[in-house]
Structures are given as C-alpha cells and as structure tokens.
Amino acid sequence: MTEKKFDPVIVGFFCNWCTSAAADLAGTSRLHYPASIRPIRVMCSSTVDPVYLVRALQEGADATILGGCHPGDCHYITGNYKARRRVAIVKTVLKSLGFDDTRVLLEWISGSEGPKFARVMNEYTDYIKKRGPSDFKYLDSLGGEKVD
Amino acid sequence: MGKVLVYGTTLASYRAAANFARAGHKVIMLNRGEFLWHKMTQMQQQQPRDIMNGYSKAILLQTANLTGNIEFYHNSELIDVEGGPGNFKVKFKHRPQTVNEFKCIGCDLCHEKCDVKYIPMPLGPGMRIIKNAEECVDVCPAKAIQIPQEKEEEVKVEAVVLSPEYIPESIEKFGAGLKNVKTFHDFAWMFRGKGMHKEFLKTDDGEYPNSVGFFSPAGFEGYIGSYEDQTIVFREALALKEMDPELDVHIFLKEIRLYGHNQMRLYDEAVEKGINIHMIDSISITQDGKGVKVNDVHVDLLAIMPGQAIPEDWVKLAKNIGVDLEHGFAKTKPFTFETNRDGVFVIGEYYKPTGSTEAIYQGTAIVPQVEKYLGEGKPIAMEIPRFEQDDFNPKVGVFICECAAQGFNIDVDADYVIKKDYLCLHPEEIVKEIKEKGINRVVFGACSPALRGAMLEMTAAKAGIAPSYVELVQLREYASRVGANARKVNAMLNAAIAKARKDVYVDIPLTETVKTVAIIGGDVSALIAADYLLEKVSLVYLITPEFDKVFDAPGVKPEVLQMSNDELEKWYTSLKDRVMKRAKWIKEEVEAIDGSLGNFTIKYNGGEINAGVIIIATGADIEEKGTHINSRMDGDTLHSSVSSIYAKRKGVEATYDLMKSYSLLDLAPPNAKKGEGEPIALVKPREINRKIAEMLGMKLDKEGFFYFAEEPRYGIERASNQFMLFEEPFGGIFVAGLAHRPMSIEEEMEEAGFAAQSSLYLMRDIISPAGKFISVTNPRKCAGCGICVDACFSGARYIDEEDHIAKVRPAQCVGCGACANVCPSGAAIIRAYSPTGVFEMLKEVVK
C-alpha cells in the first residue's frame, strides 16, 4: 500500500477579542499558515464547551486548538481561566480513555500577536502531521458506532 | 447640541471625544499625526504591546460611526483661538490623510499599484502613507485615497479641550552612546506582535542575554513622570522571569512608586520570584565588556524607563491660547480641568503626569465640567428594530465578496450564491437581492467583522433580516490571504450555512431604569458627584448620617497644593451648599440593598427608596499621628499619595520608607530621609464598607477599601483593562474617593466625575450589551442550582426567589457564554450560539 500524504484538519476556536484579532492581523500581514486550520470565532474562550472540542475530534478533525487572551487580559475578566481548567480536564479525560491528549491545544495569543498566531499554527500543524491521523478516525474505521 | 474641539490624541482625549459624542455633542477632533495613534503618546511609549492601544482607538471609531458626532482632522495644528466660552472661533490648518482610514476597506490594491510607505503600529496591522497620492486617486475602489493638500479651517465651538501628546525625557544623561542600553519602549518593541518568547530577546550583538536590568529614574533630580513608569517596569520584569526563570533580572530604583490596590503585590511578587531589586541613591552606567555595569552590577542588557519631558510645542501652544503654565503643565482652577482661560480645558499628559487608568477617569470626568458651556446634548435614541421571525423555513443566501474570496472556486450547498466585487461598497444591491429572492438567512463571505461586520449586519437589517439570522465568514483574513485552498474556503462557508439553517430569532431586550441616583456616604467625592449629577438628574439621594470634613491632601498640582486651609474650607463649603440645596439628604445609615442595575431598592431606618444607580462614597477616617510618609499599611494598597501630600503641606522633617513623593510633588520634594516612624496620615476605611460589600456582593481588600474596576484575584492590577468596556459591567455600582483607596481631593474629583458621568449614561433605558448573544434560561430545564450565578463575572444571573430558577438581567449580560458552558442541565443558553448550531457547524467544518 502506498502511503497517502496526510493532510490534517485542525479546528480552531478563537476568542473574539484576542486570538481572532491575532488571526485578523496575521491575515492583513499576509503571514501564511497551513490551510488545515479551520477557524471558528467565539465570543470568549470560556464559551467553548469541552464537548465542542471532543465533538470536533469525533466529527473527524485531527486536532483542536482553543485560543484565548493572556491570563489577566480576558475581556470578560476570568473567561480564560475557566477555559484553562476545562482544557486540563478534557486532556485528563482523553488520556484516561486512552486517546492522545496532545490533540487538544490551549494557546494564549493576544490581539497584537499576529506573527505568534501564524507561528503556533505552523508548529502545531507540523506536530500533528508527524503524529498522524487522530485515533478517533481509527475507531471509525473499525466500524464502531458513533455516539451522539 | 454642543460643539467641542478636542486637540491632540492621547488616551485621555480619545476617551473624552468618545464620551462627548455619546452624550450627544458634536466633537471636532484635531489629530496631530497622519492617522490616529501616529504621534507617540505616553501609552505607546510605556506599553507598546498593551491591548489598550487597540481598544481605545476601537472605542473612538465605534462611537464615531454609531453617533456620527465626531469629525476628524489630521496633520492639524491650532493657529488661533478667539472668543470666550460658548462662542469660540478656532482657526487651524490640516492636511487630509493620504488614505482615509474610515473609508479604507483594506483591499490592498494600492500596495500593488502605488508608492506606499508602511508604518508599523503598536497594535494591529500598521498604517500606510501613499507618496504619489495624486496619481493614485483612481486606484482605490472605495475612493479612500485623498490628495494631501494643506487647508485652513475656521470653526465655531463652545469649549476647547487640550490634550497634546508628551515626549519622553532623553536617556542620554544616564547612558550616552552605550551599547546594550535601550529605552524601555525599544525593549518592549522587541516582542511586538510575537509574544514574550526567548528567541526575540536579543542584545545589540544578537545574543541571548544572561541578565537584564531595568532602571526607572523616579526620585532622581529633574524627574517628572507618572506612577505608571514603575508599575510597568515591575510587570515587564515579572513577565521576563516567567518566560525564562533562569534569566537574571535586576531592577534599579531610588524610590518605589506604585499606585492603588494590589500594586504593592507587584513588589512582593518580584521579591518572591527572585528578581533582584537594588535600592540605589546614585547611578553610574558604564560599558562593561559587551554589557553594561550599573553601579557595581553587571547586566547584559539594560532598559531605561524614561520620565517625561516638557515639549517645546506645549509652551508654544500655551502662549498661543493664553493658558498659564506651571512646571510646564497647564495651570487649572482648583479641582477642575479648566484653565485660567474660561472654556479652555486640559486633560491627560498636559494636565499632570498621568497614568493610563487616571487618563480614562479624566476622559470621562471632563464631560460634566465642560457641559456647563454646552447646549443640551442629544444622545442617540435607543431603539431596537423588530423583525419578522421565521425559525423554520430557512432560505440561505450566501454573499461572496470577490475582494475576499480572490478567485477561489466556491461550491457550497446554499439556496443562493451571489458574488459581488466589493460587498461593502454596494449595500443597496445586497438589500435588493435579499428582497427579490426572498432570502431569510444570510451568510456573508467577506472580510474581518472588526472591519465591516457591523455594516454588513446593518445592511441585512435594512432588508428585514434580524442580526441573529446573519453569519459572517472571514474569507479574506482567515483564508485567501494566509494561503488557504478551496477545500478550506468551502468548508468554512458550508459550516456557516449549516449554522444559519439552525439559527433562531433572538429578541434583544431593553431594561427600563429608575431615573434617580443614590449616593451612599458623605465623602468629598459624594458631594462632587452629586454636584455634577444634579445638573441632569432631578432626584439625587445622599444617604449618610453625616458628612466628612475636607482633608488636608488637596492634590499634587501646585495650584491646589499651595491652597491655604481657609481656601480649601471655603471651596468645600460652597460645594456643600450648592449640593444641599438640591439633593435629598437621608440622614440614616443604609440597612439593606436589593435589586440590580436599573432598579435598586435601598432600605434605611424609617423608609426605602428606589434608584437606578448606586455610587459608593463612604470615605475614610484620616488619623494624623507622626511624621512618617507611610507607603503601605497591613495590605497591598499604597498610602503615599495622601501621606506625601500631608508631609509637603505641613513642611515637617519627614521620614519615608519606599516613596517620599508622588507625581509632580518631587519638583520640590519634602525634606525627607529614609527611616521609620508613626504615619503622618493613616487612612482607615470605614466599618460600614463591610456591610455594603456584603449586601452588594462586592469585594474589599485586606484593609477594607473597595475594589472597583480592578481584578482582586490575580495580583497584578489591570484596572485599565476593565475600562475597555463602558459602564454596564460595573452593574450600576460605582465606587469613588477614599472608599476606593487613599487619594487626594484632586483624584477624588476625577473618580467622582467618572462615577457621575457613567451614571448618567445608565439613566436611560439600557439595551443589553450582549446584543444577539444574550443569554437566556430554559425554565423547563433549569434546576436552580446556581452554578451559572457563580460563573457570571458581570452579575447578570441570579436565582429568582419565587420560581427557584436562574434568571438573566439583560442590562448586565455581555454575552460571553460562560453560563451556557457551566450549566449541567443545558438550561442556560446563548441562543445565537446554541450547541445545535455548533454541532452542525462542526460536521461541515472538518470536511
């Protein structure tokens, strides 16, 4: 069997005030990053239910990124701390169930950090490329039933 | 409707212009640079990476768009101001921007075809100047390119507000021509846009330093500057240490000047994290190998935080307008921003050395002072358009902006796909298409919502589509400009279409407010706030058994610092008389407070009143004991602001521990020596604070001062951050004066003005700041557990005592979605962002 080139899909939930603004800045500055990133704008990183992250993986994403404001800079004061706790839990749960917990990434990227945004997206995509397709997909290929 | 001229664009004047416009006055804003934030301000010098840079500009532009009350002139210069208050004739010259920043749609065509100079900005993408604008006018599809021809204008205004930008003092005298000595700005700029990361920290030789030093010359001869200089030095040092705990970080200081709540914790934290703080009396900086030697400590890289210099154009400006200066700063009438020339006001760096929190206070507090010269303001009417709702028969129309899609092959599953060259330039065509085709869900594939989002939503609204039925996809910044492929573009569009099909109608609620203000306490700030409020509000309650006496810390500006006790007393008496004539004094202590923003019920012995907004100004007791300038008591709150003024006014031989002077005071420092002793002025917050805090669910610091607009939990004060939003997040409760922290009467005036002006905005019915992202409770699912109440930072959720379920106060909801996330039973939801919609979206986005 010849190896097909692996083109991952990474779903990014980016908060409206910081990381989305950084993505805007990366865009206006024309900093290229892989097309595998699928950005979704949310109001705050705390809007993102842990279920959304798992759901994205379940639907076939190879990884997810949650982007928020730096600690202390949250537009909603404490939203990013909540997100941080949640991501820690999601990672623990994934790990204890035998899944790869590095497929959920939490990053603080402020509105002025366009270059940082592009760098993180590049590095994470490279990492996931090396890591290969998500285990969730492997489960699918076994013909397991999808849980709703 | 009044008309005000605002000269200069500092943090304070940005906020002032926005506030005047919101209060319904016309503002003529003279910007001295080619575009907003072109000229360096204190904010940019000190914190080039801070998010405030972007937000202050965003707030101004947003207000300008929303109210249509602000006219901008760029590259402008004041020539002459004639006349008096209510009738000024102002002559100025200006040169239009080569790229009109309000019209520019960011299509970048000019980059390809014209000679463009690109100027990086502290935050955001940077601005451009077109050198050959004359030949380039036709290139721009949005007609944003203008010919920069100098013009002279004359306008009639009723008041003038001056806020020219400062320049930093030269660091030459400390380290002339030395290698690896930088200004703080240049140091901070290294990380601009990239984040604090090891690879960006470099010495002049391009190596990673082993040790970094910071030096702030506060307390040295000739230094003028705001307390913020040192706050930022501490913050940056802590951030460096967090980035690399191995890095050797030094701070060199003569005095430690910090400000307000929690800031002493910066110092404690720095000590804890192993940052070397050197308290020095003199400084010598010499080259030492590749690095420098500061006194006898070697550092590889030294960043100097410069104080403030008095620019020549300040002097010229003062002469031109007829404003008196003192130490280079504009002289004002006691406890106002008004200069010796009636109707001419100053705020920001021209008023006194001002930190960013204070600048925002000033930018708001100036409004009631200027308003006495202005006609009646006409704030824009609060109207919520209503739409026909149809949640069940979606007919999705996708509008693709070719400027954003840039030739990608769009293949999506929508009812209609409509492509246009520039969507934002042809709103009428969008309306026509929507109506003709009977579209009821709209997906825009265009550029960033920050640029054109509001405009596109409004266009859809004109065609009868509610905002909750509109989805925006950022094709330009998120896809076509960052190297996307057709697969990504179509996945993003399909995701939005899938969500649009599930979108439901969201009604944006309006909260009616009680049009009265209750001021609790008898502090000086209570009277100042009441004085301002009584001009506009018919009923102001003062709830206090007695009023405090005026205290002996009037302020740091020479004109108030030198006031005699008699003058101070006289000022206070006339203020009190004025207020007492019109306000309603309830001579009781508060016993219970119920309700929320818009409708509070305050009970006291013998009755109860209703008020829309509460201002807490309980004041404090000031004990005079010894002769020591005390910096901190048991907590983390700074006391030197009051005690240094006491020492100066009393002229005693004082001792000090960390800080002997405050802001401008050091132009003539009190004859103080290092030492210990009984505090000269001990500010003790009142016992009643605990009761009030409990009733309102607020927090007090260790000593018993109220936290207001600052975050108590995370050590580093980020008060300025909270001000990015306007009033609603404060939940209709403001704190002013000594109840907040030890401060001079001058600062009380700023805080009281902020509280008064902000209350006025809340004195009309309030549209939920969350807009379509308003949170709601599904009563059938809610178990009344109250988890969402704890999750809500703005106090918008509460448990209804009758129904035992969680309810939402729309006036306070900001739409962050924290409640929806924590709710275990799925009862708390953001309807515009429901799980159903998100799940549909996720199915498509991964394809």
Q: How far is the C-alpha of B397 from the C-alpha of B388, rounded, in Å?
A: 17
Helix (H) or strand (E) holding B543: strand B539-543
- Asked whether the beta carbons of residue A115 and residue B194 sit closer than 8 angstroms, the reply is yes
* Position A2 confidence tier, pLDDT thresholds 50, 70, 90: very low
For the CA atoms of A107, A112, A118, A119, the dihedral, rounded to the nearest 10 degrees, stands at: -70
- Please report residues of A whose CB lies closer than 8 A to that of B192: 112
**What are the residue ranges of helices labelled H in B198-328?**
228-243, 263-272, 312-321
Q: What is the pLDDT of residue B334?
A: 93
**What are the residue ranges of helices labelled H in B407-550?**
427-437, 454-462, 475, 486-502, 524-533
Q: How much is the pTM?
A: 0.91
Claim to verify: residue B530 and residue B651 sit in the same structural domain: no
For B829, name the nearest residue in chain A, comparing CA atoms only.
Answer: A47
CA-to-CA separations, B450 to A21, B447, B457, B495, in angstroms, rounded: 8, 8, 12, 20
B194 in contact with chain A, both atoms CB, cutoff 8 A? yes
- Asked whether the beta carbons of residue A112 and residue B49 sit closer than 8 angstroms, the reply is yes
Claim to verify: residue B753 and residue B812 sit in the same structural domain: no
Residues 477-496 of B with CB under 8 A from A: 477-479, 481-485, 487-488, 491-492, 495
Best residue of A33, A110, A112, A134 to probe chain B, by most B CBs closer than 10 Å: A112
- Please report residues of A whose CB lies closer than 8 A to that of B714: 71-72
Q: What is the pLDDT of residue B500?
A: 95
- Whichever domain contains A120, its CATH number is 3.40.50
Claim to verify: residue B187 and residue B300 sit in the same structural domain: yes
Separation in Å, CA of B106 to nearest CA in chain A: 8
Q: What is the pLDDT of residue B632?
A: 79
- Please report residues of B whose CB lies closer than 8 A to that of A64: none
Q: What is the pLDDT of residue B669?
A: 67
DSSP string covering A122-133, please? HHHHHHHHHH-S
CA-to-CA separations, B660 to A120, B551, B671, in angstroms, rounded: 46, 19, 9
Q: What is the pLDDT of residue B25?
A: 95
Terminal Cα distance for chain B, rounded: 55
For residue B129, give the nearest of B151, B112, B142, B110 by alpha carbon.
B110
- Asked whether the beta carbons of residue B817 and residue A42 sit closer than 8 angstroms, the reply is yes
CB within 8 Å of B766: residues ≥ 6 apart = B382, B510, B511, B513, B597, B598, B728, B810, B811
Claim to verify: residue B244 and residue B296 sit in the same structural domain: yes
B409 within domain boundaries = yes
Claim to verify: residue B572 and residue B707 sit in the same structural domain: yes
Residues 638-657 of B with CB under 8 A from A: none
For residue A19, give the nearest of A83, A62, A63 by alpha carbon.
A83
Look-up: residue for tokens 């910090």?
B258
**What are the residue ranges of helices labelled H in chain A?**
19-28, 50-58, 79-96, 114-131, 135-141
Q: What share of chain B is helix, strand, coil (3-state, %, to 5)?
A: 35, 25, 45
Claim to verify: residue B328 and residue B364 sit in the same structural domain: yes
For residue B212, give the nearest of B187, B195, B189 by alpha carbon.
B187
Number of domains comprising chain A: 1
- Asked whether the beta carbons of residue B793 and residue A31 sit closer than 8 angstroms, the reply is no
Best residue of A76, A107, A109, A125 to probe chain B, by most B CBs closer than 10 Å: A76
Best residue of A10, A113, A125 to probe chain B, by most B CBs closer than 10 Å: A113
- Closest in B714, B817, B843 to A46, CB measured: B817
Look-up: residue for tokens 């209503």?
B386
Residue B318 has φ and ψ, to the nearest 5°, of: -60, -45
B832 within domain boundaries = yes
Terminal Cα distance for chain A, rounded: 33
Q: How far is the C-alpha of A132 from the C-alpha of A6, rounded, in Å?
A: 7
B526 within domain boundaries = yes
Domain extent for A87: 10-138
Exposed / middle / buried, residue B454 (Cβ in 10 Å: 0-12, 13-18, 19+): middle
- Asked whether the beta carbons of residue B476 and residue A79 sit closer than 8 angstroms, the reply is no
| End residue of a domain, out of B642, B661, B680 | B680
Q: How far is the C-alpha of B155 from the C-alpha of B280, rounded, in Å?
A: 53
Give this complex's ipTM. 0.93
B523 within domain boundaries = yes
Exposed / middle / buried, residue B152 (Cβ in 10 Å: 0-12, 13-18, 19+): exposed
Q: Which tokens sit at B284?
A: 């010598």
A51 within domain boundaries = yes
Q: Kind of pairing, strands B682-685 and B620-623?
A: antiparallel
B116 within domain boundaries = no
For A29, name the nearest residue in chain B, comparing CA atoms only.
Answer: B125
A146 within domain boundaries = no
3-state secondary structure of B371: helix
Q: How far is the C-alpha of B151 from the C-alpha of B96, rounded, in Å?
A: 8
- Asked whether the beta carbons of residue A112 and residue B192 sit closer than 8 angstroms, the reply is yes
CA angle B198, B202, B204 (to 5 degrees): 180
Exposed / middle / buried, residue B349 (Cβ in 10 Å: 0-12, 13-18, 19+): buried
Q: How far is the C-alpha of A66 from the C-alpha of A87, rounded, in Å?
A: 9
- Please report residues of B whose CB lies closer than 8 A to that of A148: none
- Closest in A28, A43, A71 to B816, CB measured: A43
At position B549, the amino acid (one-letter code) is: K
Domain extent for B85: 3-95+150-166+311-371
Q: Kind of pairing, strands B470-474 and B441-446?
A: parallel
- Asked whether the beta carbons of residue B817 and residue A41 sit closer than 8 angstroms, the reply is no
B449 in contact with chain A, both atoms CB, cutoff 8 A? yes
- Asked whether the beta carbons of residue B815 and residue A111 sit closer than 8 angstroms, the reply is no
Report CA Rg, chain A: 15
- Please report residues of A whose CB lies closer than 8 A to that of B477: 23-24, 26-28
Residues 3-22 of A with CB under 8 A from B: 9, 11, 18, 21
| β-bridge partners, B472 | B444
- Please report residues of B whose CB lies closer than 8 A to that of A9: 846
Q: What is the pLDDT of residue B714?
A: 37
Claim to verify: residue B436 and residue B460 sit in the same structural domain: yes
Q: How far is the C-alpha of B301 from the C-alpha of B296, rounded, in Å?
A: 14
DSSP string covering B788-801, please? HHHH-TTS-EEE-T
A111 within domain boundaries = yes
At position B122, the amino acid (one-letter code) is: P
Stretches where chain B sits below pLDDT 50 are 712-725
- Asked whether the beta carbons of residue B714 and residue A76 sit closer than 8 angstroms, the reply is no
Q: How far is the C-alpha of B260 from the C-alpha of B218, rounded, in Å?
A: 17
A108 within domain boundaries = yes
Claim to verify: residue B272 and residue B183 sit in the same structural domain: yes
A110 within domain boundaries = yes
CA atoms within 13 A on the CB side of A83: 33
- Asked whether the beta carbons of residue B477 and residue A56 sit closer than 8 angstroms, the reply is no
| β-bridge partners, B789 | none
Residue pair B429/B383 in contact (Cβ under 8 Å)? The answer is no
Best residue of B238, B728, B846 to probe chain A, by most A CBs closer than 10 Å: B846
Residue B92 has φ and ψ, to the nearest 5°, of: -150, 160
Q: What share of chain A is helix, strand, coil (3-state, %, to 5)?
A: 45, 15, 40
A128 within domain boundaries = yes
Q: How far is the C-alpha of B664 from the C-alpha of B558, rounded, in Å?
A: 8
* Residue B274: count of CB within 10 angstroms of its CB: 11
Q: Which tokens sit at B658?
A: 């960390």
Look-up: residue for tokens 């003058």?
B567
B65 within domain boundaries = yes
Claim to verify: residue B265 and residue B361 sit in the same structural domain: no
For B451, name the nearest residue in chain A, comparing CA atoms only.
Answer: A24
For A50, name the nearest residue in chain B, comparing CA atoms only.
Answer: B821
Residue A128 has pLDDT above 60, yes or no: yes
Helix (H) or strand (E) holding B303: strand B301-304
At position B42, the amino acid (one-letter code) is: Q
CB within 8 Å of B352: residues ≥ 6 apart = B329, B556, B557, B663, B664
Number of domains comprising chain B: 6
- Closest in B793, B821, B846 to A49, CB measured: B821
What angle do helix axes A50-58 and B835-845 make, rounded to 10 degrees?
Answer: 30
Residue pair B76/B94 in contact (Cβ under 8 Å)? The answer is yes
3-state secondary structure of B108: coil
* Position A124 confidence tier, pLDDT thresholds 50, 70, 90: very high
A71 within domain boundaries = yes
Residues 46-65 of A with CB under 8 A from B: 46-49, 51-52, 55-56, 59-61
A143 within domain boundaries = no
Claim to verify: residue B200 and residue B287 sit in the same structural domain: yes
Residue pair B518/B614 in contact (Cβ under 8 Å)? The answer is yes
Look-up: residue for tokens 């106090």?
B795
B389 within domain boundaries = no
Residue pair B338/B323 in contact (Cβ under 8 Å)? The answer is no
Claim to verify: residue B720 and residue B646 sit in the same structural domain: no
Separation in Å, CA of A114 to nearest CA in chain B: 6
Helix (H) or strand (E) holding B565: helix B565-582
CA atoms within 13 A on the CB side of B676: 1
- Whichever domain contains B325, its CATH number is 3.50.50.60
CA atoms within 13 A on the CB side of B252: 25
Q: How far is the C-alpha of B21 from the C-alpha of B370, rounded, in Å?
A: 13
- Asked whether the beta carbons of residue A79 and residue B830 sit closer than 8 angstroms, the reply is no
Claim to verify: residue B193 and residue B271 sit in the same structural domain: yes
Q: What is the pLDDT of residue B715?
A: 34
- Helices (H) then strands (E): counts for chain A: 5, 4
- For residue range B106-144, list pLDDT tens digits in order: 888 888 889 999 888 776 677 889 999 998 999 999 999
- Please report residues of B whose CB lies closer than 8 A to that of A39: 474, 478, 492
B510 within domain boundaries = no
B660: left (phi over 0), alpha (psi -120 to 50) or beta: alpha
CA atoms within 13 A on the CB side of B354: 32
Best residue of B714, B821, B831 to probe chain A, by most A CBs closer than 10 Å: B821
Separation in Å, CA of B487 to nearest CA in chain A: 8
A137 in contact with chain B, both atoms CB, cutoff 8 A? no
